[in-house]
A = this chain, B = another copy of it.
Amino acid sequence: MTENTRIVLASRPHGAPTTGDFRFETDPVPSPAEGQVLLRIRYLSLDPYMRGRMSDAPSYAEPVPVGGTMVGATVGEVIESKAAGLDVGDHVLSYSGWQQYAVEDARGVRKLDADTPLSTALGVLGMPGFTAYAGLEKIGKPRPGETLVVAAATGPVGATVGQIAKARGARAVGIAGGPRKTAALLDEFGFDAAIDHRAPDFAEQLREACPDGIDVYFENVGGAVLRAVLPLLNEFARIPVCGLVAQYNATSAPEGPDRLPGFVNQVLVKSLTVRGFIQREFVDELYPQFLAEMRAWVRDGTVRYREHVVDGLTSAPEAFIGLLEGTNFGKLVVEVGAARS
């Protein structure tokens, strides 16, 4: 164990990232100082927001510098500890990025319980699950009998959104790409209806699946789905906006007509609420409640989750590129598989 391989941003992508935008670098494994731990990274989370970090367009977070290690949430095993309360063998959630080893301050990590699989800390019990939970608790507020629509619905946010909506008594309509995914929405995640956004009559199918209109549209893709949802929204509908994966690779404003005036008009005539959010806004207020409620839901099967695990850090760039294209099926996690020396 002498070398740490990490993946850095080699260049800012223009449009869709390519493997050439990433570069592998190898350094000595660092040593922890007092109050720190050395982690062997077991799992790396890959999430759509990382596309934003590769760009230097103004956003809610600093971009990754060119030459810097790609950021990301990780589950690591403590292999050396100079911090009280963290022992060798403990597993922690950290934000160590795309690499095999990392030194972290003890206060920057969260020790994980052993009662749920480690990788769930990156998915249903981590940032994606909390995004779903906070977006519904604070903005979407699905009520019994209402209809909720979510796209990318087999992804870790979308699947959780639909299942929470069901737990709150609402009807859940999921949108996904292809028959395997739509089947999983019905059979695995318990959605009331599932629609393939690739179908030529997608908008018509969505209308038929929402006979009472749409009360909550959880926006995590952008683009064509929003356009199909818009005419179906009910008065006082809520649109939490947590991501726009369909737009992340866009390089210019799409061709007209300009749909913005019509959108704002719908906001007016239907008294819509459109609210963008980043989950960290609600962490202090809601995280303990989320962990308690979601752990219970995961244990009793109210909320199910699916993971898409790829093997080895070297697989990360291609897996991430596929994530932006929707080729994964479930929460995308890299089993980092550090080479021990």
Contact = CB atoms under 8 A, between A and B. Distances in A.
B269 A272 contact: no
From A60, A254, A256, A274, residue with most partner B Cβ within 10 Å: A274
Contact of A276 (B226, B241, B250, B272): B272
A263 interface: yes
B265 A244 contact: yes
A206 to B, nearest CB: 18
Given A219-B264, A235-B60, A244-B264, A269 B258 contact: no
Interface string A37-64: 0000000000000001000001110000
A258 B223 CA distance: 11
B268 A261 contact: no
B247 A261 contact: yes
A222 B258 contact: no
Interface in A206-258: 219, 222-223, 226, 235, 241-244, 247, 250, 252-258
A29 interface: no
Given A222-B264, A258-B256, A277 B271 contact: yes
A231 to B, nearest CB: 9
B244 A261 contact: yes
Contacts of A242: 268
B269 A60 contact: yes
B264 A258 contact: no
Nearest to A259: B260
Given A60-B235, A235-B60, A267 B276 contact: yes
